[in-house]
Amino acid sequence: MTWTSAMGRALVTAGAAALAVPALTELRIAPSTRALTRRWREVPVGRRGNTALGISFRPRQCEDFDLDPRETLTTLLSYPFDLVRLSAYWDRIEPEPGEFDTDEVDWQLEAAERAGKRVVMCLGPIKSFGYPEYFVPGHLLDEALPEGRLVDPVSQPALLDAATRYLARMVKRYRDRESIVAWQIEHEAVDPLGLEHSWRLAQTFLRHEVATVRANDPARPIVLNGFLPTSTIVLAHQWWRTRDQGDSVAAAEQIADIVGIDSYARYAVTSVGRWSVYLDGSTGVLPALRRRRLLATVAATGRKVMVTEGQAEPWEAVTVPPSPTARAASSCPPERIIKNYNDWLRWASQARTELSAYLFWGAEYWVMRDRQGDSSYLDAFTRLLEQS
């Protein structure tokens, strides 16, 4: 072994050891559910200032919860928030060659306008919010996107051509709607989706999409969002998987007018019986350093930061959030809706800036819980709106 290789191994070992200590402090082992309490009534509510509050809406999540999407959106829009993020799912708009059906987008947008809400419209096209975050019509691909590869203009020219034509058509259709205040392009655009797939969009692919939208609507700002890890383990893992071109937050910093942050303070990584292992990086040093640098950097350029997904529903070790009878999932009981919001207001203030908006993630879950007899999530949201 040469001195150079020995030194390299020593540095890797030292780096792993340096990460191990904070990572271990962020692990929590707890029962997957806990008794419902009234703590959400007691948590102080931070003052929003000029930060607009809102929600994201997922009709597909309503379907998973056996909720009627139209009724659910009508219920949610009755609350006095400012902003709603909607999504155009490409596979539903062009399910077959030659079809172009925007009915699902139309009724959501019309409902939001009747309620006097402003809209962030996520156009996709490859990725959009809501599991499985990938909504390319099947007829546009002869085979699945190759795992472990970057999807770029050279390897997927036909997909890029179809995606940009779709984007241009959608922007032209909706650009005269005054309710739409921003376009979101893709969702966590250049990140892989957990362990489900390892392909990623290349920044070059994303830049073509953004250029298409800007060419067809130069006035409206463009939002790009990314998952900002709140734990050291996930921060290191995400850096490793995206080290060749950076992650979606880094892409947003370079390209977007508004940088969107998806933030989940506590989530389960596995469970055994009634116990789960959670990552809770609310006090993580390395995630905090990246968060502070991000807020300061974007503020210094005069651009805006918004929380596109502020965790307000459980993230347990299952795809569909559980709804235990008369109990709360430990990853996000009702009081966490307020705590997670408070944390972001405080972090922005510490960075001497202000969030342009904070969108709560999980509103469909609140309605489902309410239908099951537990109004505490909706009540916590109501209290936050009234007192912020």
Q: What tokens appear for 367 in the block? A: 């309605």
Distance CA 280, CA 260 (A): 21
Q: DSSP characters for 204-225?
A: HHHHHHHHHHHHH-SSS-EEEE
pTM for this entry: 0.94
Spell out, as residue ranges, where the chain has pLDDT lower than 50: 1-8, 10-18
User: Which H helix or E strand runs over 188?
Assistant: none
SS3 109: helix
Distance CA 250, CA 200 (A): 14
pLDDT at position 4 is 42
| Beta carbons of 248 and 227 less than 8 angstroms apart | yes
Q: Where are the alpha helices (DSSP H) in the chain?
A: 3-25, 59-64, 69-77, 90-93, 103-114, 157-174, 203-216, 232-241, 248-255, 285-300, 335-350, 363-371, 376-387
pLDDT at position 20 is 57
